[in-house]
Structure 1
Amino acid sequence: MFVRSVLLLLMLASTAWAEPVSVNDIRVKDGDTIYYKDVEYRMVGYDTPEIQTRRRKVGPDERAVASIATERFAELLKSGPLDLTEVECACSAKARREGTCNYGRKCGLLTLNGKNIGDTLIAEELAVPFRCSLSRCEKMPDWPKIIEGWNTK
């Protein structure tokens, strides 16, 4: 855990910029991805279920939770002052050279009243922690299994 925290701090230290942003300049794609002034950003530190993905078939339960997470994310954006910090994306040197890092998206940390929005979504069980080092990320969450676990609580 300590190593992950240090890596996250290192990522934040290599910030390209951090600035207050207006919700009017943000378009929500899903629970962990936004467009800010037409630039796509994947939020770091958490992952939400997928509405659709090219990697696998998405079932109805996951799609339903993904829709709720997306709506909640959009709702949170409207509830206070926002700051967007652009951070280094985790990817291999080869992907960086080829321009394929993170599917062409930038990476960012979005805070609401100084608190990471991802932490709120995690607390509300609409997301799970998802950490990356500078060169690679954890294995993607198994959303069908996670949602099944939530349903049996």
Structure 2
Amino acid sequence: MEPEDDLRSRIEAALVRGRLTKWQRHFLLDMRDRLVKYGPRTRLSAKQWARLHEIIGPTSPSPSAPSHSPLNRAPSSSRWRPRRSRSPLAREARYLAARFTRAFGIALALVVGSLIYSHIEKGGHISWPSMPSFARSATGDRVPLARSQFTVTDGDTIRLDGAAKGTRLVGFNAPESIEPRCPVEADLGRRAKARLTELVASAKLELEMIPCSCTAGTEGTDRCNYGRSCGSLFANGQDVGDVLISEGLAVPFVCGATSCPPTPRPWCAS
């Protein structure tokens, strides 16, 4: 088994066993998604290795030396060579380039800071920089979405290509396919995910990003919807949530402006 496959299997085993906090579960899901998407090209920081060590036990190689791990393999170092002396002209050019880079970085930081400050002053949210450019639409606008621009996580969640977090589809709740609470939910969760995948396979797709139902100032952070964005996905003009509800693969789930009622999960009721 390849190293990344072994690590992914251990992560999935930890998810199945349960006994995780919400943060730990979200972290493991994010790590698993990276391994699925990037395979042996996945890069994990020392801090991420340390978190994995805390949750699933020691990994091989040691998290304390991530640069030597199969997922962070560095090219073999060449033999030592004497450092070449640079001419005065080359040193001067290097110095001027460094000065220019520093000045440009400061100017760019000032511009970005000004934009963010202006955005906050107008009462807006600042979670959009983590979203792909095709999803940075104004609230209420539908934008075309290609099938290649996202992956289906489960029956009510997708992940946009390039986004740090997933996008929770609103208005409905589908059974869990990753951490089901009973066999019935596990079966329905797999069917809901498969049905959503089928709905978006060849349809004309549109995505409408909307504010999540969170307290002011928390959107885009882990305190709001686990850091995920929120939106509605339309296949040939129809909300995919309405289709799943009509087929018994989801239930309505409507939130208020800043909070949601308890998540409906009727599948494991005795």
1:93-104 mapped onto 2 (5 Å cutoff): 93=216, 95-96=218-219, 99-104=222-227
134-143 vs 91-100, which moves further: 91-100
The AA in structure 1 aligned to 2:168 is: R
Q: 2:211 aligns with which of 66, 74, 88?
A: 88
Matched residue count: 131
* Deviation of 1:36 (Å): 1.3
- Asked whether 1:15 is paired with 2:139, we answer yes
Aligned with 1:35 (options 133, 155, 159): 159
Higher relative contact order (CA 8 A, sep 6+): 1
Q: Which amino acid aligns with 2:197?
A: A
Structure (1/2) with the larger strand percentage: 1
- Measure the CA separation in 2 of the matches of 1:30 and 1:82: 17
Map of 1:34-53 to 2, 5 A cutoff?
A: 34-39=158-163, 40-53=166-179
Note closer, same or farther for the CA distance 1:66–1:98 as it changes in structure 2 (3 Å cut). closer
3-state secondary structure, aligned to 2:188: helix
Aligned to 1:93, the other structure's residue is in SS state coil
Q: Distance in 2 between matches of 1:62 and 1:76?
A: 20
Pairwise CA distance, 1:16: 6.8
Alpha-carbon distance in structure 2 between the residues aligned to 1:62 and 1:97: 29
Partner SS, residue 148 of structure 2: helix
Match of 1:9 in 2: none
Bigger helix fraction? 2
Q: Percent identity?
A: 37
Match for 2:148: what amino acid?
Answer: N
Q: Which of 241, 244, 250 is matched with 1:118 structurally?
A: 241
Point out the structure with max Rg over C-alpha.
Answer: 2
How far apart, CA to CA, are the structure 1 residues paired with 2:248 and 2:220? 36
Q: Which amino acid aligns with 2:246?
A: A
Name the residue aligned to 1:151: none
Deviation at 1:99? 4.8
Aligned CA-pair RMSD: 2.1
Distance in 2, matches of 1:112 and 1:104, equals 25
Distance 1:99 1:123 in 2: 32
